[in-house]
Amino acid sequence: MEERELLSRVRRLYSSDEISWESLLAPDNLAKLRDLYNFREFTLVRETTPPALRGTGGQVKGPVRTVTELKIEPQAIELTVQGDSELADTLLFEVQTQVLSLSAIVRSTNPKVLVDTHETFCVCKLDFEWDRMFSPTYNEFLKSVRERVSEEHPEAEAELWPAEIRYVVALTTKAAEFRYAPKMLAIEPRKGAAPGDRLYWTNSPLKSDQHLSLLRELESAFRATRRQ
């Protein structure tokens, strides 16, 4: 597996009133949050439910990494960064510390967290063709579709490849305080790449180390069946 691009997202949901939302909206506090990672844009989005402070195009000092998006809501903080989940967790803690420090009243430095969720997005080159992910029966069906389209258009050559291969991952809980939002699992040819490039867009509701481990396992499984 050849990793080309890695993004990690972490979202932390807090008990109500842990975030002093109105305090964050003061102009001086907005400036402090914007300057935390020098966001190119940092705005209050009132049209969403719930409303959110949204920063994009931030930079992490040291090895330069882009904070692609930060969202602060009245009861949650979500951060997406170029890098692994460990870095995302570290930055989220920094944001949390800053948010708590801007409260108009004294708050605990250990807020009550209801749940953390992670997502990983990775562009990578995998050592198998996309049709290996489908059964021989289904691949024969796709071949038949391609042949029939070519018959109707003899002046052209028909090509066929998947645009999206995605699954919904849903979690249920008996907790009264929150509900999990459905997440996506995707392993699909990257848009714009040639079918033979073996370049894939992948994402999952997992930390980056587990996400990459699963991709390596999948690649190894297809290699093993190819040798048989």
Say if residue 3's pLDDT is above 60: yes
Name residue, tokens 């195009």: 57
Residue 106's pLDDT band, with cuts at 50, 70 and 90, is low
Q: Which of 109 and 162 is assigned the larger pLDDT?
A: 162
Name the β-bridge partners of 189. 200
Distance CA 124, CA 126 (A): 6
Give the type of residue at 188.
E
Q: Render pLDDT for 11-35 as a digit per residue (tens, 0 to 9).
A: 999 998 899 999 999 999 999 999 9
Distance CA 92, CA 71 (A): 10
Using an 8 Å Cβ cutoff, are 111 and 15 in contact?
yes
What are the two backbone dihedrals, phi and then psi, of residue 17, each rounded to the nearest 5 degrees?
Answer: 75, 5
Using an 8 Å Cβ cutoff, are 211 and 202 in contact?
yes
pTM of the model: 0.91
Q: Render pLDDT for 55-75 as a digit per residue (tens, 0 to 9).
A: 999 999 878 899 999 999 999
Peptide bond before residue 50 is cis, with ω within 30 degrees of 0: yes
The pLDDT of 206-220, averaged and rounded, is 97
Q: What is the mean pLDDT of the chain?
A: 92
Say if residue 228's pLDDT is above 70: no
How confident is the model at residue 17, as a pLDDT? Answer: 86
How confident is the model at residue 174, as a pLDDT? Answer: 81
Name the β-bridge partners of 67. 58, 81
